Structure 1
Amino acid sequence: MSVYSPDQISELEQASYAVQGKYENLLLAYYSKKYRTANGYEHALHGFGRRLRVMTRCIENTFRVLPPSQTAKPDDNQRLDATINIQSFVQNAYGCCENLAWIWVHERDIKMPSGDPVSHGAVGFRKTNRVVWRSLPTDFREYLQTLDKWFENLKGFRDGLAHRVPLYIPPSLVDPANTGKYKELERQTRIAEFTQNHEKLRRVEEELAQIEFFRPVMTHSVTEESPLIRFHDQLLTDFNTVEEIATKFHKIL
């Protein structure tokens, strides 16, 4: 049974089709602008523009490989291909925001209080990026503050991916009520594999199939008790948020 209703599946698919047009509109806006500095130009076209293109393709690939309508357990290749695209998307969504902040730094010649160039770790659109933050227009800062939770979640995804446990799509899930039975069947599977008892292995796998089910979710670490996130929704939400930030930012340039 799908986690999405037929109407939700239709809405997700339509939203995924709209991504290409949004990408092209943003690209035109940033490509047609005249930049004061070579670094600002590079971060706009070769930073933000490239990343946005990758994000667009990642959504297209993920929806093709594992469509929101799929309820059958995917094979390992399907999951791996979707995972690769999701991981790439997250890294580039995070990078898009930093590219936009770098455009501001170069185009407005933002410096540290000492007069030194702004360091890499100090560039961003969050309050913790104090020097850049204070240089932004008040209304844009107020808008960014409404996205605090979104920035926090995106950073969490990106940091886990880069430094701890990467995002992945679980091959299957089990109702908590069946956890004990699942662990026992898993134990029997290992024994059957070790003893090469193929008949026993077949029967155990059939029992496992009765209690396992697939959901289009992604997560980080099991030990960190990371939440299960529906990746179709999340990819579209993140893309649309980056688009909104970039559209508002383009106006203040």
Structure 2
Amino acid sequence: MLKPEKFQRLRFLESNLETRIFDARDWLSTPEALTHLKSGLGARHYVLRHCREYLERTCFAAKRDALSADVATEAALHLNGYYLNLRGALDNLAWILQFELQVFPGTTEDSGARMKVHLFGDKFLKAVGDRSTPHANHLSAMKSWGLDLAVLRDPAAHRIPLYVPPGIITSQDQVDEFRRLDHLSGAPESELGGKRRIEIMIEAQQVASFEPVFCVNSESGIKVYNIPKQLLFDHRHYLHLARKVLEEFK
């Protein structure tokens, strides 16, 4: 769990953005931008907050025991939901800019040129800069974060969902006990001591301890990230960028 002062700061930042999303209804003039504000960014923001809160309760600290299969699956569901909706929220910001500033005149969500509306794309950034230097400055300052987010933590891009391992074996004692139970699970029934094989296999899985990490699997291999460190880093960047983009419309 976050320390109380850090939790209060994070909730302040979330509430601040929620206020800006509400206020921006008076700052935007096009119906399309308002749709992306209310039904897009606004709706996704509460999903992001919910996912962040769930993961904080369940996956922000190491635990002596491994997670159950159900809890690990639900954690992965919230983690994937967070990053998919984070990418979606950034797309909503891009379309708010597109419709409100007419970044690419005539381009709509149904046109073939819609792929140009990419928040951190070079052409998009240049076109935004031609219409609003402050908006372009905010986007440029966050470009490296946005591109890193797309390359490393976009489940849709990888086609393999983010994975929260139920447990990790970190000590030699755990390795030895796992190997003993794993070997026993394959032994003749007469050597199982009255236990069912599935019970021994479950015991072997429970040797592991939970560590607050998630895995990104790609062609280049598996990368491991610390859940609270990475998620809070990305969450704070999202809160900052979304607030700045909306405030420039005042």
Pairwise same-fold verdict (TM > 0.5): yes
Q: 1:55 to 1:223 in 2, by over 3 A?
A: same
Q: CA RMSD in A?
A: 3.6
Q: What is the CA-CA distance between 1:127 and the residue it aligns to?
A: 3.5
Query: What is the percentage of aligned positions where both structures have the same residue?
Result: 20
Question: Is 1:215 the counterpart of 2:211 in the alignment?
Answer: yes
Distance, in Å, in 1 between the alignment partners of 2:47 and 2:174 is 39
Q: How does 1:1-253 map to 2 (within 5 A)?
A: 13-14=7-8, 17-18=11-12, 20-31=14-25, 33-68=26-61, 70-111=63-104, 117=108, 119-128=113-122, 130-136=123-129, 137-175=132-170, 188=183, 191-192=186-187, 198-199=192-193, 212-221=208-217, 224-253=220-249
TM-score of the superposed pair, with normalisation by structure 1: 0.76
Secondary structure of 1:220's counterpart equals strand
Contact kept, 8 Å, 1:16 with 1:60, in 2: the verdict is no
Deviations 1:205-230 (A, max 9, x none): 667755x3321111122774332112
Deviation of 1:231 after TM superposition, in Å, equals 1.4
**CA distance in structure 1 between the aligned counterparts of 2:47 and 2:224, rounded to whole angstroms:** 24
Count of matched residue pairs: 241
Q: Deviation at 1:249?
A: 0.9
Change (3 A) 1:147 1:85: same
Describe the SS at the equivalent of 1:226.
strand
Q: Is contact 2:83–2:155 with CA below 8 Å preserved after alignment?
A: no
SS of aligned partner of 2:24: helix
Contact 2:214–2:225 under 8 Å retained in 1: yes
* Cα distance in 1, alignment partners of residues 186 and 28 from structure 2: 65
Which deviations, in whole Å up to 9, do the C-alpha atoms of 1:176-203 show, x marking residues without a partner? 97998699668636635x9796448567
The amino acid that maps onto 1:220 is V
- Deviations along 1:105-141, one digit per CA (max 9) or x if unpaired, are 11122326xx65572211122133x045322333443
In the TM superposition, residue 39 of structure 1 has moved relative to its aligned partner by 0.5
Distance 1:215 1:191, change over 3 A: same
Q: Distance in 2 between matches of 1:205 and 1:77?
A: 14
Alpha-carbon spacing, 1:60–1:35, altered in 2? closer, same or farther (3 Å): same
* Aligned mates of 2:184, 2:13 — CA distance in 1: 44
Q: TM-score, normalised by structure 2?
A: 0.76
Specify whether residues 191 and 25 from structure 1 end up closer, same or farther in structure 2 by C-alpha distance, changes over 3 A only. same
Q: Tell which deviates more after alignment, 37-46 or 102-111.
A: 102-111
Counterpart contact for 1:12–1:68, Cα < 8 Å: no
Higher RCO (CA-CA < 8 Å; seq separation 6+)? 2
**1:239 to partner: Cα distance:** 2.0
Unaligned runs of at least 5 residues, structure 2: none
The amino acid that maps onto 1:107 is E
